[in-house]
Structure 1
Amino acid sequence: MEVGVAWRPSSQLQGAPHAARPVRPGVSSGDDAAATHLLPPSSATRAPRRDARSPRGPSKERGMDRPSAEGRAGAAAGPGASPDRGGDPDRADPRPLVSAPLSRRRLLQQSAGLALAGCPRSGASARRVVVIGAGLAGLSCALELNRKGRGVQLLEASERVGGRVQTQRIGGLVVELGATRILAGHDRVHAYADLFGIERTPVDPDRAGIDLAVVQGQRVAPDGAIPGGLTPGEALAWQQGRLLELYLLPLMAQLGDPLRPGWPPPDLDALDRLSLAAYLASRGASEAAIALLTLGGLSGWVDRLGILQHARHVGLDDLSSPATWLVGGNDALTEALARALTGSLEVGAAVREIRVQRNGIARLSIERRGLLSTLEAGVVVAAVPLAALRRIRLVGLSSQVRRAIDETHYVEITQSNLSFSSRFWIERGLSGRLRTDRPLQEVWPQAGAPRADPRGILTNSTTGQAAIELGAMGEAERGTFLHEQLVMAFGGPVPEPTLLSTRAWHLDALIGGGWPVFGPGQGWIQRRLQQPDGPLWLAGDHASPWPGWMQGALYSGERVAQRILAEA
């Protein structure tokens, strides 16, 4: 894993990588009150619920947030509903996940009322809530619990908050090392941004020109030459931008509601056993069509990705609409959330063991600066990637939950940011968005330069074996490799770039990869992750309908908080 200034053959950048604003370490005891915030549903930014039956439009933007795929609008109107307490987990609770809008004045009034709720009482261990992980899932879970008067002890193993959201500022440029894009239907991200007064701007402010795809050495564009190897029907669908719809439309009618708790239901088990490649082949897709439909980050996963996970992504996310980015960097949101939790957030506190005791109380072993201590809690929320959770000793969990944790694979991903003296792609009538079946995989422009600044930024996201190899390269070798790949992909000279930063997320022991891949036959894992195991709850994008997105992390954190409150 590498973060920071790397290869710079053409010029020396000024500045240093931005460090997250320090969070004052502090541990809340039992039910200590923390700052209270209520997240409004933000109806102005919510996308209306649409029937997820007709995928359309070329996928252009996914980045760390997941690999590209053609898709259509279909994000749900709201954050979904949680199961009724003690009832059927598939039966939706009509109550919204978050309450009605709340003014800042009312927020302060509720904060004052939390003081009494934080007083010590008998059975403090049974009532204590510990959240492990200060990424978006952990932060949103803690905030929602605070709002209802529940004290939370939030533990973060690293020295920063944000998880897979990490922003770097260098030489007047702002770039994302992790999650980059916010789609129109990602209502939870927009609602939090509204709450904290964070503006959004298009990730690609120019958004002009032609998108490129490189397949088996052939450079193609949606409005250009027809790729070779397609059947006549596929060629027509490609020209009309309907290639994905040609093969996924029949499936969409069978999916049901991907936001319903307990999805995918057992009656989809037959489909669940199929990989993306197997499903497309069963529909008669040619090898050339499969290659086009899985360009970019999906190219190495066609046999390992379950068709249901892919279809859900296509049905929920509108990838054809412009994506946005938080002005000044996506870490503006994680820092705002962390500041709201001052007094209950502790960094540098690594949980080494979670032991569920016979009395239903969890005993945690926590390492701080080389010293071990223990803490008991009646509720523990593990809001870390499952790949990182596997590094924690887990005792007393059910065998099914252990299997779910152990058998969920995370995508290896290496993300790099390159700066250029100009936006050369605009001058050539290109958008800068590129997908290939080569190791380069995906490229997109990033809005990290001030509008008056002529410099341009391209972000590269590589997954799988290509990510492993790229992440293992030295700085100079990596910079040269990426430059050569861009020259081949763009089909002409490319100015020499400056490699600003590279982040190999699979090499970070506290993260373990990019996003979870639910393979054929793993629908049961997705269902199981939504349910508690004794005192342990799992939160994160892996336990949401949006694996790999900031939206999924926030949605999951809120949902778990409301489930905990309902069962109190």
Structure 2
Amino acid sequence: MADHRRPPPDILVIGAGLAGIACALDLSRAGLSVELLESSDGVGGRMRTDRKDGFLLDRGFQVFNTAYPQVKRRVSLRDLCLRPFTPGLLARTSTRLVRIADPIRRPGDAASLMPGRVLSARDLAALAALTTRDVLLPASILKRLPDRSTAAALTRAGISLSAAEELLRPFLSGVFLEDELETSARFFHMVWRSMARGNLCLPAAGIGAVPEQLAAGLPDGTLRLEAPVVTVTDSGVLLQDGSERPASTIVVATDGPTAACLLPGLTVPDGRTVTTYYHAADTSPLAEPTLVVDSSRAVLNTCVLTEVAPSYAPPGTALVSTSVLNDDRPGGEAVVRRRLAELYGTDTSAWTLIGAYIVEDALPAMVPPWPVSRTTRFAPDRYVCGDHRATGSVQGALASGTRAAREVLADLARQ
């Protein structure tokens, strides 16, 4: 039966992740009445933060990049109280722990990049040339480059196999959530550009503060939580509670698998799964806000979140985040804990497991050739947006939602 408690909107947007919020904001600002339906009890989709016993637990390890164009356009960085990571990283190679520094932002660490200390002179030159090109070339050109795998792109750039395997692959595996570097080189170049241009940070209140800030800009009455949609019908949507919401125009802004269920015939990419563990320790095992990556592939990355943002844990407690691919191994957490003892050089047996998140479809599998943007039009008056329609990033989700609103408005103007 139809829900008569509120007038029908001009447009229904399904899913209050970043893409759905961006789309709803732009359509509302254009003067249309919009209803944003979210199945869960909060906004953000996968970009949410849980509060547990004084800890902030992001749903999977995530960082916030200040260089994304959509972020600059939409987000008040000051209000997020951003806390930066160290520019660079620590990498546990097969023989030792090495530091990869950003000599521009951290001149004091430049000595770590002396030829032969971590990278050969040839690898340093190749990496500098790749970075310079990605920073200086217009994004529009990077998006149109012939596509190949990231592994092939690194080889083509002149980076040696040993440097790629020991240093770049461990880091990029955590970015792409796959360890073969089969991800599109187009996406790699865009990510590399954004990292060189921006800062990697965490909001003091957790990563969920980003969608919460965006959603606060929606007109009153736009957002409707705990309203799962079962079916998209010819005249609107059917909700799980049996009610119907009529609307002539519908935008599906969910994750890929859900979108494929709501829009039969929609093709979506496979998803990458990641598991993130949160451990509490009495003392910090690393007294700096630096990401640690692991060439052994036992873990993707780990960091002491409270060195980045002390607000992530109660006073006097360190919170360590560690991510692994899938992690369906028997005793997976125990394996991770043992490897953390080796990575940090400390006894981890007394660490307390605060939480563990298995994040399915955390990112789309962006294998080449991968279009970094594609139309959101699916059928007449039916649209679909999300990172699976662009790139697996905050920028991709926001850009796809923006495009959906733009295409809706253009189609309405032609009617």
> TM-score category by the smaller chain?
0.7 to 0.9
Q: How far has the Cα of 1:387 moved from its partner? A: 3.0
Aligned partners of 1:182 and 1:189 also within 8 Å: no
Match of 1:295 among 163, 166, 170: 170
Aligned partners of 1:414 and 1:504 also within 8 Å: yes
Aligned position for 1:330: 207
Provide closer, same or farther for how the CA distance between residues 301 and 479 of structure 1 changes in structure 2, counting only shifts above 3 A.
Answer: closer
Between stretches 131-140 and 326-335, larger displacement belongs to 326-335
- C-alpha separation in 1, matches of 2:67 and 2:76: 14
1:268-417 counterparts in 2 under 5 A?
268=145, 271-272=146-147, 274-291=148-165, 292-296=167-171, 298=173, 300-318=178-196, 322-338=199-215, 340-354=218-232, 362-369=234-241, 371=242, 373-394=243-264, 402=266, 405-406=267-268, 408-417=269-278
Aligned partners of 2:289 and 2:305 also within 8 Å: no
Provide closer, same or farther for how the CA distance between residues 323 and 275 of structure 1 changes in structure 2, counting only shifts above 3 A.
Answer: closer
Provide closer, same or farther for how the CA distance between residues 316 and 199 of structure 1 changes in structure 2, counting only shifts above 3 A.
Answer: closer
1:257 to 2:127 alignment: no
Aligned partners of 1:137 and 1:541 also within 8 Å: yes
Provide closer, same or farther for how the CA distance between residues 456 and 184 of structure 1 changes in structure 2, counting only shifts above 3 A.
Answer: same
CA displacement, residues 30-69 of structure 1 (integer Å, 9 cap, x when unaligned): 33xxxxxxxxxxxxxxxxxxxxxxxxxxxxxxxxxxxxxx
Q: How far has the Cα of 1:276 moved from its partner? A: 1.5
Q: How far has the Cα of 1:492 moved from its partner? A: 4.4
| SS of the residue 1:425 aligns to | coil
CA displacement, residues 380-413 of structure 1 (integer Å, 9 cap, x when unaligned): 2111122332233526xxxxxx3xx33x222111
Unpaired segments of 5 or more residues in structure 1? Answer: 1-24, 32-127, 356-361, 396-401, 507-512
1:159 to 2:37 alignment: no
Provide closer, same or farther for how the CA distance between residues 335 and 257 of structure 1 changes in structure 2, counting only shifts above 3 A.
Answer: closer
- C-alpha separation in 1, matches of 2:290 and 2:118: 29
Provide closer, same or farther for how the CA distance between residues 147 and 233 of structure 1 changes in structure 2, counting only shifts above 3 A.
Answer: closer
1:502 to 2:348 alignment: no
Aligned partner letter, 2:31: G
TM-score using structure 2 length: 0.79
CA displacement, residues 290-333 of structure 1 (integer Å, 9 cap, x when unaligned): 212211452744352121121122123337x5433333233334
Q: How far has the Cα of 1:346 moved from its partner? A: 2.8
1:435 to 2:268 alignment: no
1:67-82 counterparts in 2 under 5 A?
none
Aligned partner letter, 2:301: E
- C-alpha separation in 2, matches of 1:304 and 1:551: 21
| SS of the residue 1:309 aligns to | helix
Q: How far has the Cα of 1:521 moved from its partner? A: 2.4
| SS of the residue 1:366 aligns to | strand
Aligned partners of 1:297 and 1:442 also within 8 Å: no
Aligned partners of 2:64 and 2:201 also within 8 Å: yes
Aligned partner letter, 2:292: L
Aligned position for 2:50: 168
- C-alpha separation in 2, matches of 1:282 and 1:342: 52
Between stretches 133-142 and 415-424, larger displacement belongs to 415-424
CA displacement, residues 434-469 of structure 1 (integer Å, 9 cap, x when unaligned): 011322111123245349923222212223xxx242
| SS of the residue 1:457 aligns to | strand
Aligned partners of 1:27 and 1:344 also within 8 Å: no
Aligned partner letter, 1:161: V
Aligned partners of 2:231 and 2:239 also within 8 Å: no
Provide closer, same or farther for how the CA distance between residues 27 and 221 of structure 1 changes in structure 2, counting only shifts above 3 A.
Answer: farther
Aligned partners of 2:83 and 2:204 also within 8 Å: no
- C-alpha separation in 1, matches of 2:375 and 2:342: 43
Sequence identity percentage: 21
- C-alpha separation in 2, matches of 1:27 and 1:330: 34
Aligned position for 1:520: 368
Aligned position for 2:66: 184
| SS of the residue 2:315 aligns to | coil
Q: How far has the Cα of 1:341 moved from its partner? A: 4.6
Between stretches 484-493 and 142-151, larger displacement belongs to 484-493
The RMSD of aligned alpha carbons is 3.7
| SS of the residue 1:142 aligns to | helix
- C-alpha separation in 1, matches of 2:196 and 2:50: 27
Aligned position for 2:381: 535
Aligned partner letter, 2:364: P
| SS of the residue 1:439 aligns to | coil
Give 1 or 2 for the bigger CA radius of gyration: 1
1:244 to 2:127 alignment: yes
Alignment coverage as a number of residue pairs: 392
Aligned partners of 1:203 and 1:445 also within 8 Å: no
- C-alpha separation in 2, matches of 1:171 and 1:374: 39
1:102-121 counterparts in 2 under 5 A?
none
CA displacement, residues 335-368 of structure 1 (integer Å, 9 cap, x when unaligned): 455454542333333333446xxxxxx4445232
Provide closer, same or farther for how the CA distance between residues 165 and 431 of structure 1 changes in structure 2, counting only shifts above 3 A.
Answer: closer
Aligned partner letter, 1:562: R
- C-alpha separation in 2, matches of 1:493 and 1:393: 51
